[in-house]
RNA sequence: GAGACCAUAGCUCAGCUGGAUAGAGCAUCAGUUUGCGGAACUGAGGGUCGGAGGUUCGAAUCCUCUUGGUCUCACCA
């Protein structure tokens, strides 16, 4: 809704400025605390034409034909700033749209095909608390982009032929596999054991190299043993992801690009650029003019492919199938993804948009699956749900066990997801048990609570027969400050989605959802809803509660957090 | 050693392409209608925006230097 208002303001200002005989220029619009939208365009014109910005702002406001635009209310100049407010019509239109559009409110303004890859952790163990930052950022972006209107396909790119997997496969034939545990955890056990062994007896590394060559050549037995190892880990990983409301549409395997011949083809293309040479038997590519000092190794001296080469083939494939290709990657991939983009550019192929997130480390240092130094996602989720159960039990002791468990799950997962997504990806963090288990009052539970509260109010009203979705509302009766604030907040939802989708910054939505919940709580605190005599006003306010319920539910859903009807 | 990213209130963080008195939450302190879910609401205190220069009418935001942290610099992924 806010996007429509903004568009009208843009049209109005452009018309007005050109009417004044001034060349069009960046309108420099921004939301402001002084108005629903503010323009700094007077500064821009002033510096170009050596005029007084205050006078210009005044002149523009005076010349503007506001009446033509139904969503625009008051427009005024405050010094050099032009402040624009929404109209009463905007408020009432917002209400009627939420009621008619329901859960599709606030989205659907973009179109196109997107391929988004996230998580893609090596199948050599369970997801740990660092990996889930990738998963949560990725999945939230997927939900945001879908809400915006894109058709999004999600990928988990599976490394099924790298060195790590060769080690896992080797480990499975040398060490005991514990079938009593979740399979991804048992894979980690043998992987850690194998790495320790290889450290003690370096001559065994040759056996790993041998396995890699066999796989690359297409040796059936080796391929089968690799893929068994991968599936064991992947099954466990999928289970963890699904616990966090995350699922991928497809799991492309690295090996398919080797077997299809795509890797060989792309190596030929790279050679054809004339920028490669053979160094100690390995094929290397010069990317110095892209700012990379060191040459990029594209093929090993024994002829086997490398991660980067397979990834190039994968990206070529992705680029042919989508308008936007997005990857969520950890900070350790900064350099390699830069090299990947440079190489794709060199080959004239579309480059992916890369979202990099910084690492989550432990107080004692960085995490490592290989060394067994990590906190698994499963462990975190178990602990958090357990703590959430304690909280529910404390507040709703009379409720049955399965209710408490269900709520504890929703609240626990919500808390973890919210905690990850509220921080912008470029901040590195240190994992801390005490903080992880502390249910921040204004985090996910706060938003979920607001939703449950709205549901419960409506439920009560329906039982008493004083409200249902078809009741007539009279939006003109909604004039209290807290009511208007709540409505404006709901109206802004589309602009938040638009911004998150454009800049790939999901944390803004987390903040928004919290503010929306806050606006609802304030409204409900200050304005009587059920306990009033005026039936029309009562139905109207209940209708507003219903709208808030809808937008809270959409917001939570877009964050991948369950919206409980009661908690 | 080189490069990239980060540094804002006691703690965790917002702050969009430089622009109107630097914002939230947590924590602390003080309060709240016999009124609808108190996992709620109101208010207060708390900041040399790591440091030093510079560009600009204007800098938390841009440039340079500097300090501290994270990540990277493999024929690993």
Give the model confidence (pLDDT) of A215-250 as tens digits.
988 899 999 999 999 999 999 999 999 999 999 999
Q: Could you give the CA distance from residue A400 to residue A390 in angstroms, rounded to a whole number? A: 14
- Residue A278 pairs in a beta bridge with A283
CATH 3.40.50.620 intervals, chain A: 118-361
Q: Is the CB of A280 under 7 A from strand B?
A: yes
Distance between the alpha carbon (CA) of A439 and the C1' atom of B27, Å: 14
pLDDT in the model for residue A159: 94
- Taking only the tens place, the pLDDT of each residue in A467-497 is 887 788 899 999 999 999 999 999 999 999 9
Q: Is the CB of A534 under 7 A from strand B?
A: no
CATH 3.30.1360.70 intervals, chain A: 2-86
How large is the C-alpha radius of gyration of chain A?
28
Point out the residue nearest to B24 (C-alpha to C1'): A511
Interhelix angle A481-491/A88-101, nearest 10 degrees: 60
pLDDT in the model for residue A467: 85
pLDDT in the model for residue A440: 73
Point out the residue nearest to B69 (C-alpha to C1'): A428
Q: Is the CB of A48 under 7 A from strand B?
A: no
- CATH number for the segment(s) A118-361: 3.40.50.620
Task: Say if residues A128 and A377 touch (Cβ distance below 8 Å).
Answer: yes
- Taking only the tens place, the pLDDT of each residue in A186-221 is 999 999 999 999 999 999 999 999 999 999 888 999
CATH 1.10.730.10 intervals, chain A: 378-558
CATH architecture under which domain A378-558 falls? Orthogonal Bundle (1.10)
Q: Could you give the CA distance from residue A297 to residue A306 in angstroms, rounded to a whole number? A: 8
3-state helix/strand/coil string of A443-510: CHHHHHHHHHHHHHHHHHHHHCCCCCCCCCCCHHHCCCHHHHHHHHHHHCHHHHHHHHHHHCCCHHHH
Distance between the alpha carbon (CA) of A270 and the C1' atom of B67, Å: 43
For chain A, the distance separating the N- and C-terminal CA atoms, rounded to the nearest angstrom, is 31
> By 3-state DSSP, what share of chain A in percent is helix, strand and coil, each rounded to 5?
60, 10, 30
pLDDT in the model for residue A466: 83
Low-confidence ranges of chain A (pLDDT < 70): 441-442
Which residues in chain A, range 384-403, keep a C-beta under 7 Å from any nucleic strand B atom?
Answer: 388, 391-392, 395-396
Distance between the alpha carbon (CA) of A69 and the C1' atom of B9, Å: 43
Report the CATH fold assignment for A2-86.
Gyrase A; domain 2 (3.30.1360)
């Amino acid at each position: 809704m806010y996007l429509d208002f903004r568009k009208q303001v843009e049209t109005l200002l452009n018309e007005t400025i050109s009417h004044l005989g001034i060349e069009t220029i960046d309108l420099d619009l921004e939301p402001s605390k002084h108005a629903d939208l503010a323009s700094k365009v007077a500064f821009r014109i002033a510096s170009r034409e050596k005029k007084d910005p205050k006078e210009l702002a005044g002149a523009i406001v005076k010349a503007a034909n506001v009446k033509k635009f139904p969503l625009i209310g008051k427009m005024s100049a405050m010094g050099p700033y032009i402040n624009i407010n929404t109209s009463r019509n905007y408020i009432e239109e917002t209400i009627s749209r939420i009621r008619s559009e329901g859960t599709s409110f606030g989205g659907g303004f973009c179109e196109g095909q997107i391929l988004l890859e996230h998580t893609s952790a090596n199948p050599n163990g369970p997801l740990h608390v660092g990996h889930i930052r990738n998963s949560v950022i990725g999945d939230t972006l997927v939900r945001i982009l879908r809400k915006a209107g894109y058709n999004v396909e999600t990928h988990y790119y599976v490394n099924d032929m790298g060195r790590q997997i060769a080690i896992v496969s080797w480990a499975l034939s040398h060490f005991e596999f514990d079938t009593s545990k979740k399979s991804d955890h048992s894979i980690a056990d043998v992987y850690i054991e194998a790495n320790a062994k290889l450290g003690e007896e370096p001559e065994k590394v040759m056996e790993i190299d041998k396995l890699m060559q066999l796989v690359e050549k297409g040796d059936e037995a080796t391929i089968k043993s690799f893929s068994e190892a991968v599936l064991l880990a992947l099954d466990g990983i999928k289970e963890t992801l699904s616990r966090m409301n995350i699922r991928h549409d497809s799991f492309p395997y690295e090996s398919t690009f080797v077997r299809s011949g795509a890797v060989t083809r792309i190596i030929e293309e790279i050679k054809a650029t004339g920028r490669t040479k053979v160094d100690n038997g390995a094929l290397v590519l010069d990317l110095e003019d892209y700012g990379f000092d060191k040459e990029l190794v594209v093929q090993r001296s024994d002829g086997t492919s490398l991660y980067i080469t397979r990834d190039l083939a994968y990206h070529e494939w992705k680029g042919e199938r989508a308008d936007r290709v997005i990857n969520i990657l950890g900070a350790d991939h900064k350099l390699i993804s830069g090299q990947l983009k440079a190489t794709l550019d060199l080959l004239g192929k579309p480059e992916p948009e890369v979202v990099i997130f910084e690492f989550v480390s432990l107080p004692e240092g960085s995490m490592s699956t290989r060394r067994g130094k990590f906190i698994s996602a499963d462990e975190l989720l178990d602990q958090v749900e357990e703590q959430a159960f304690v909280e529910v039990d404390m507040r709703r002791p009379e409720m049955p066990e399965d209710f408490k468990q269900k709520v504890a799950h929703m609240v626990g997962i919500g808390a973890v997801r919210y905690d990850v997504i509220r921080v912008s990806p470029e901040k590195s963090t240190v994992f801390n048990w005490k903080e992880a288990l502390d249910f921040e009052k204004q985090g996910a539970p706060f938003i979920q609570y607001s939703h449950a509260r709205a549901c419960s109010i409506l439920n009560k009203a329906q039982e008493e027969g004083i409200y249902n979705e078809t009741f007539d509302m009279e939006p003109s009766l909604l004039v209290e400050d807290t009511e208007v604030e709540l409505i404006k907040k709901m109206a802004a939802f589309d602009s938040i989605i638009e911004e998150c989708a454009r800049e790939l910054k999901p944390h803004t939505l987390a903040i928004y959802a919290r503010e929306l919940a806050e606006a609802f709580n304030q409204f409900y605190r200050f304005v009587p809803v059920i306990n009033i005599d005026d039936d029309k006003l009562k139905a109207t306010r209940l209708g507003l509660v219903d709208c808030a319920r809808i937008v809270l539910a959409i917001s939570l859903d877009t964050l991948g957090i369950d919206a409980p009807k009661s908690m």
